[in-house]
Amino acid sequence: MIETIYIVCSGPSLKDFDFNKLKDKKVIAVNYSAFNIPYFDYVCALDFDFYEDNKEQIKALNKPFYAIENYHYSDIYKELNVNLLTHSGEKGYDDRKGFVKHGYNSGYFAVQFALDLGYKEIHILGMDAKYSNNQYFYKNGVDDNLGYNHLNDYMRALKMQMPKDIKIYNYSLESSVKCFPFKNLNSI
* Residue 116: per-residue pLDDT: 95
In 10 A of CB 35, how many CB atoms? 14
- CB atoms < 10 A from the CB of 13, how many? 20
Across the range 172-184, mean pLDDT stands at: 90
Q: Kindly report, residue by residue over 75-115, the tens digit of the pLDDT.
A: 899 999 999 999 998 888 999 999 998 888 899 999 999 99
Find the DSSP H helices in the chain.
48-53, 55-61, 74-80, 106-117, 149-161
2-26 pLDDT per residue, tens = 699 999 998 888 988 999 999 999 9
Q: Is the pLDDT of residue 152 over 80?
A: no
- Contact yes or no for 79/63 (Cβ under 8 A): no
Percent of residues, the chain, with pLDDT higher than 90: 59
Q: Is the pLDDT of residue 167 over 90?
A: yes
Provide the whole-model pTM.
0.90
Give the whole-angstrom CA distance, residue 101 versus residue 183: 25
Alpha-carbon distances, residue 153 vs 70, 90, 150, 175, 179 (angstroms): 24, 11, 5, 13, 9
Distances, alpha carbon 92 to alpha carbons 49, 105, 124, in Å: 26, 13, 18
pLDDT at 64 over 80: yes
Q: Which is nearest to 9 in space by CA: 160, 182, 171?
A: 171
